[in-house]
Structure formats: structure tokens, C-alpha cells
Amino acid sequence: MVKTMDYTHLGRTGLTVSRLCLGTMNFGPQTDESTSYSIMDSAHEYGVNFFDTANGYGGSKGKGATETILGNYFAQGGGRREKTVLATKVYGDMDEWPNNGKLSALNIRRALDASLKRLQTDYIDLYQFHHVDRATPWDEIWQALETAVAQGKVLYVGSSNFAGWHIAKAQEAAARRNFTGLVSEQSIYNLLKREVELEVLPAAQDYGLGVIPWSPLHGGLLGGVLKKEVQGVRRLEGRAAETLAEHREQIEAYESFADELGHEPGQLALAWLLHQPAVTAPIIGPRTQEQLDTAVKAMEISLDESALTKLDEIFPGHKPAPEDYAW
């Protein structure tokens, strides 16, 4: 039996979110609609109240398809929308026509209304910039979001894939307008990919942003990939195979250490993130019910200092800049 879900505040806000966030990118292209409903219901049963999506998700089913699945799920009622802290994103081009992407005031207005329609809701809890827009001034972006907040369409604003200085620039621009600005940053962060420790995490902590790591298993490389390879369950191709070849010795040591601790590698990778002070909630992206059940068990794992030190030895991280590379 998995213990009760833990909760925390999202950054400096009063918003309470579960320590695991349900990522929905696979809903549609990898997971059919009925299975997606079942996974979301199970997530609620486990106490996961934080769901993440994006307007561009949908893959082979077309952009917007994943939001549509979530909207159909919420439309079933039963308190499904009310139980959910709903996060979606804006930035990616939805088609080839001008102004249907990026962070212009025009696209933010149109994209937000389109997301609300697909999601069958009248507000987004956390509206995230999927990428920094270097061509649009922050005063324009913040004015658009101030309007959305005043209209009750957006409650909180977050970023994704920002550098530390992007976070600083955004927050200083918001402060000049007496606006809350960003409350979260969603970055790639896992044992293999730790560059955010240089400047993104320090900036997020200093400005009071919650950190929501995506790809916590680095595309499955931290999910017991070598064991699955031996069992013939999984064969990696392309970039993933190249990354495995580059880090094979580390991953062998990691899987051996997971065995020594008595944990599944994927659960250990999630548990490590949950022990990092800047992290609010890693994003888990299950394609199946079994993957959800497995991921949630990471909540049961407590790592002592010796285990954390050993993981740092296998996968060396970074000190905050500039100490990482200067005296």
C-alpha cells in the first residue's frame, strides 16, 4: 500500500500541490482516451492533484489533442476539475499562420481562449510559458497576463525551459509593474542532466519559484534500461542509444546500487529528485496504469546522506555558479 501523498506549496504561493505531478504528454498519441481517464482517476485516488499539459501536445493525433482529452475527462463531472490543479503551456506554433505561436499579446489571448475551450474549463490554475520568447518584450507579455488574471482566466504564471537570467529578467520586469510574475519553473532535471544546478535552481530559489522537473528518468535511461535490454523488453535507438553508450558505465553502477538498496531504478531516480531542496514535484508521464503505480511508490523511499553521496559519486552534479568553476 502506498503511503498518503505528500503535499507542498508551489514556490512562494499558497497553492498546495502534490509532490508528484501527472504529465499528460502521452495521452492521445501513446495512450488512448479511456485509458487516459483511468490513469487520471487513479492519480486522484493516490492523492495526485497536480496535472500538467500543453496546448501543443497531441503528437500523431494533432496539436491540441491532449488538452481535448483532459477537457472530456473534466466534463464527466464528479469533482474531477475541482480536484485538479491544472497546468498548461503556451509558446509553440499551433500552425504555420503568423501570430499563432510565441508570446505576443495577440497569441497569448488567442491561445489561452483556445486552451480553455479544449479543456472545457473557465480558468487555468498555472499558465506556463513553454519557452522564452526573445523577440517579445516582457512589458507586453506581462500586460497580457495581467489582463488574463484580471479576467479570472489564469490564476498563476510559470515558465519552462528558462535560463537563470531569463527568470531574473522576467521577475524584475514583473516587479516594476507590481505583478506577481512567475511562481514556477519547469526544467529538465534528473541524475544524468544536472546543469540547472548551476544557475536555474539558485535563481528559482532566490525568487521563490517552485521547480517542476521534466524527464525525471531521462527518457527511460534511469528506469532500469540495462535490465530491460537483457530481458529483451526494450531496445533503444537513435539519440537514446547514443546517450546510453556514452553513460553505460554510470548506468550500470546506478542499477547495481538500486539493487543494493532494494529499489527499482526509476523509483530511485524520482526519490532522488524529491530529496532535492529546490524541487516541488517531478513530472511523471505514465503511458499505462502499471507505470503510474510504479512511479507513485517513489513516495515511500527515504534516502540517507550516504545514499545521496553515492548517487552524487555516480552522477556528479554542479555547485551553484560561480563556485562551480571559480574560487
How far is Cα 136 from Cα 129, in angstroms, rounded to an integer? 12
Pairing of strands 210-214, 283-284: unpaired
Residues 6+ apart with CB under 8 A from 108: 90, 141, 144, 145, 148
Cis peptide before 322 (omega within 30 of 0): yes
Helix, strand, or coil (residue 58) = coil
Distance CA 302, CA 26 (A): 29
Pair 265, 223: CB distance under 8 Å: yes
C-alpha cell at 244: 546510453
Look-up of cell digits 507513485: 296
Residues 57, 73, 127, 207: which is the catalytic one?
57
Indicate if 7 belongs to the active site: no
Residues recognised as catalytic: 57
